[in-house]
Amino acid sequence: MPNYARASNTNAVIQEIRNKVYAKHHTLVAKRNALAAQVQAMQTELDNYQSQLIALACAKYEISAARVINSIKTPAVTPLPALNKTTLNRQQAARIRAVKLRKLTPAQAVEIRAAYPRKTMRELGAQYGVSCVTICRIVNNVVYKE
């Protein structure tokens, strides 16, 4: 007989972990965006400093600005990759759909693992209304991982 109290407790634990992961994700995205703003500000400051130096060099040594600019090889700042919200949303939606479409509960998966040595995969599949491939994946801990 399935232990529904354990299954609901497991779902609560999974939800709590999911909430913590989402909170950490949002924190890291905020930090990344703050760092991107700082990098942009530093790049602007560097550009202004470079312009001032070029102006001083041009005035002091009577050199054309184009010649000075062409001789300076400033390393390009590699921009941070943009957060692709579409990809993240698709991945999250796929995970949610996969969980909603499951025919078995985690408690049933534990029962299947316990019953496997005594019954064949075909018998277990017929008993729980899933294919023997699904039973094989549960027994081998591919899905419904412990």
Mean pLDDT of 122-145: 90
Four-CA torsion 15, 110, 125, 4, nearest 10 degrees? -60
Same-domain pairing of 21 and 49: yes
Residues 54-82 pLDDT 10s: 777 777 777 777 766 666 655 555 555 55
CA 139 to CA 143: how far, in whole Å?
Answer: 9
Same-domain pairing of 145 and 97: yes
H or E segment at 39? helix 4-61
Same-domain pairing of 22 and 72: yes
pLDDT at 33: 81
Q: Looking at the domain assignment, is residue 4 inside a domain?
A: no
Same-domain pairing of 112 and 94: yes
| CB crowding 42-80: b at 16 or more within 10 Å, else e | eeeeeeeeeeeebeebbeeeeeeeeebeeeeeeeeeeee
Where does a domain end: 51, 77, 103? 77
pLDDT at 118: 93
Same-domain pairing of 95 and 48: no
Q: pLDDT grade, residue 1 (50/70/90)?
A: very low
Q: Looking at the domain assignment, is residue 2 inside a domain?
A: no
DSSP secondary structure, 57-108, as one string:
HHHHH---HHHHHHH--PPPPPPPPPP-HHHHHHHHHHHHHHHHT-SS-HHH
Where does a domain end: 77, 95, 129? 77
Q: Looking at the domain assignment, is residue 59 inside a domain?
A: yes
pLDDT at 80: 56
Residue 138 pLDDT more than 80?
yes
Structural domain including 123 reads: 85-146
Same-domain pairing of 17 and 65: yes
Same-domain pairing of 65 and 92: no
Where does a domain end: 77, 110, 130? 77
Which residues have a Cβ under 8 Å from the Cβ of 80 and sit 6 or more positions away? 32, 35, 36, 39
Residues 9-42 pLDDT 10s: 777 788 888 888 888 888 888 888 888 888 888 8
Same-domain pairing of 73 and 108: no
Q: Looking at the domain assignment, is residue 5 inside a domain?
A: no
Q: Looking at the domain assignment, is residue 39 inside a domain?
A: yes
Same-domain pairing of 100 and 42: no
Residues 34-61 pLDDT 10s: 888 888 888 888 878 877 877 777 777 7
pLDDT at 139: 92
Residues 92-126 pLDDT 10s: 777 777 766 778 888 899 999 999 989 999 999 99
> Is residue 115 within 8 Å of 124, Cβ to Cβ?
yes
User: Which residue, chain included where needed, has tokens 């996969």?
Assistant: 98
Q: Tell me how many domains the chain contains.
A: 2
